[in-house]
A and B are shown apart, each in its own frame.
Chain A
Amino acid sequence: MKNNEDTYYKSLRRTITLIIVAVSLFPLFLLAAVAGYRFHTSYRGKVISHLQEIVEKHARQIDQFLLEKLAEIQTLATITPVEELTSSASLAEILYSFQKSFGGVYVDFGCVDSSGYQVAYAGPFHLARANYAKAEWFKKASAQPYFISDVFLGLRGLPHFIVAVQVPYKDSFLILRATINFLGFTRLVESVRVGETGRAFILNRQGEYQTAVSFQPKLEPKQILESLASKSADAPSGNLRAVNGASGASSVIYKEIDGTLYLARPLKKGNWFLIYEQNSRDAFSELYSARRFSIALVALSIITVIFIAWALSYKVVGRIEQVDREKEMLSEQVIQTGKLASLGELAAGVAHEINNPIAIMVEEAGWIEDLLPDIQAVAQSAGREDLITEIANTVHQIKTQGARCKDITQKLLSFARGSDARVQEVNVNDVIEDVVGVISQKAKYDRVTLKVECSNGLKPVFASPSELQQVLLNLINNALDAMDTQGGNLTIRTAQENGWVVITVADTGPGIPESVLPRIFDPFFTTKPVGRGTGLGLSICYGIVKRLGGEITVDSVVGQGTTFKVYLPVIQEKREGDNGGE
């Protein structure tokens, strides 16, 4: 039964906890998920947009640089007489002048005739009279008014790219070409750096590096281009040029591949691509930091909710448990009261029916006693004087047992009616004094040390003095019977506690086993030997104390003793005030 109750309350506690947790955490999760997603999307968008802006700006700078170089060479080709262009010495002077004006951007100048023969050269390499007839750049430069090449090794065996411009010459043309400082150009491209891992480089349409790379990109250049090309639905695979042409505005596209963010922007009319690469964690570091903080906050909220739910459920179930117990106790009391009431009715009837025959028996015995003098004469004449003693003893025994029966029926009746139930203001200490006067002799015979500790200044209670005496006598007699002439201590104590007068009757007897304790107030329940206890004493006490609005409790430890406590409500202050005024 106890286990079932425990299981029920545990289950209830669990259910309440789960409900509170579910009700509290569902909105929290929903809020966290929606807000988190919105924040994530928005922040990510902002970061990418920012990077796109940076890449776009940087790409324009690079484009601008290339156009400037082209414009400078075009201007040079236009304003410089052909004689000077075809003279290595003049070219050297011009190169010197350009290097002075533009820093180390230009590495060398060369003038190539339409057959691919370099007629003049100024620069650090020995390329005078070099023949470029079969060079790819020459073929392309010959086919258009101006040309910016991809990076190639050329005759010098070093990566470089050139800006070439056609100069009309007689019926044919010359090509003025300038080599751009490759490392300087690389530095320009790499100058865009965001975070710790943001780097930029340039690829041509074939996926070849057009700048020097001092790091190893996560993907192969061709893979990067293919992935970025597939990003745009408009763009055919491997062709980012279409993207550039379609929008006309910012044509920076991006893609996240295996934790790395790639942004691409076409350069040089789609022949080159400025690629920007950055580790996603680095790019979105603030986002991840905010996300970690949010997760920690949600985790803290979850822990708090669980703790509160647990504490709340514990408290609520504790209260429910207490109310259930009180209800159960009340039910037990109602049952007990019902038992007592029905027993009381029965007892009253039985007592009356028994008292009459007992009265007849006792009176008949008395009649025999009355006749004893006459019988004595007859017995003497018959020589049987011994009969007189025998009869006298028998009569005495009948009267004694009759008196015992009467005592039992009186108890039954007082149990039924509460005997003298006239309630009045009673000082408990006075009643105890009366009772102690009655039982002190018996206690002495039983070798019991009687200790009376009455608190001074006890407030009066409403009670019937005789009923209260009966209660105390029952408790004290039980205590004396329990100690059974073995001796011990019997303490009678009074005290006032929070509106109650508490009477304590404590003995040092053998104690009451726990299994018996719940039944001791049941009518007819007794542990005394047959003939010594009616089993009504404590029931009567219980009935009387409950009628007075009080409580009676028992606390017993086997081998140490038993303590009964009677709680009686003190008379209310208002009442006392009224009395005081009279």
Chain B
Amino acid sequence: MAASENRARILIVDDEVAYADVLSRRLKRRGYEVECACSGKGAVQKLRKGSFDVAIVDLKMEDLSGLEVLKIFRTLEPSMPVIMITGHGSEEAATAGKALGAFEYLGKPCDFTSLLEVIEKALTLGREKHD
């Protein structure tokens, strides 16, 4: 699918370590390069250390909320598409996220195939922005 010579780098930000872990495994199996951050602050540090093609950010976290992380990401890496994901399923949060520049919003548990499609679309968009 997406795996190729230039493997796309995905950053998963979720304080549910188990979820980040399984998602990471599944994405890696499909050829993506995945890094996980279990807090908002950790995610920001990871982004400062390296660049990512797509970020999957949980909306509700303990230290920084997904929307705060999104704002920081938009500042640090404006071209990086951010996919918001949450178990809360709040329409208002999704609307707010999109208003802040989130690429897409998905509810937990999401259909993995749909997630892959969104990731691919995001990568395409990212590449277009770079070009």
Contacts and interface: CB of A to CB of B under 8 A. Distances in A.
Interface residues of A, number: 27
B92 to A, nearest CB: 8
Interface in A370-412: 370, 402-403, 406, 409-410
Given A352-B60, A356-B16, A359-B110, A364 B22 contact: yes
Nearest to B30: A370
Contacts of A402: 109
Contacts of B22: 360, 363-364, 366-367
Contacts of A413: 88-90
A250 to B, nearest CB: 109
A534 to B, nearest CB: 16
A276 to B, nearest CB: 109
Contacts of B86: 352, 355
A356 B87 CA distance: 6
Contacts of A352: 60, 86-89
A515 to B, nearest CB: 36
A406 B114 CA distance: 15
A362 B109 contact: yes
Interface residues of B, number: 21
B23 interface: yes
Interface of A: 348, 351-356, 358-364, 366-367, 370, 402-403, 406, 409-410, 413, 417, 419-421
B108 interface: yes
A359 B91 contact: no
Interface string B89-121: 111100000000000000111101000000000
B109 A359 contact: yes
B26 interface: yes
6 contacts: A352-B88, A355-B109, A360-B16, A366-B112, A409-B87, A409-B89
Indicate the member of B107, B108, B110 with the most A CB atoms within 10 Å.
B108
B1 interface: no
B62 to A, nearest CB: 13
Contacts of B29: 370
A417 B95 CA distance: 14
Interface of B: 16, 18-19, 22-23, 25-26, 29, 60, 86-92, 107-110, 112
Contacts of B87: 351-356, 359, 409
A409 B109 CA distance: 10
A356 B19 contact: yes
Contacts of A403: 109
B112 A420 contact: no
B91 A355 contact: no
B1 to A, nearest CB: 12
Given A353-B87, A356-B87, 9 more contacts: A355-B108, A356-B16, A356-B19, A359-B19, A363-B23, A364-B22, A366-B112, A417-B90, A420-B91
Q: Please name the 7 residue pairs, one residue from A and one from B, whose CB atoms are nearest each other, closest first.
A: A355-B87, A359-B109, A359-B108, A362-B109, A363-B22, A352-B88, A355-B108
A75 B41 CA distance: 159
B88 A363 contact: no
Q: For B26, B88, B90, B109, which residue has the most chain A Cβ atoms within 10 angstroms?
A: B109
A348 B88 contact: yes
Contacts of A355: 86-89, 107-109
A361 B22 CA distance: 9
**Which of A355, A364, A403, A417 gathers the greatest number of chain B CB atoms within 10 Å?**
A355
A180 B108 CA distance: 141
Contacts of A366: 22, 26, 112
Contact of B19 (A351, A354, A363, A420): A363
Contacts of A410: 89, 107
A370 B16 CA distance: 21
Contact of B26 (A354, A356, A358, A363): A363
Nearest to B109: A359
B88 A358 contact: no
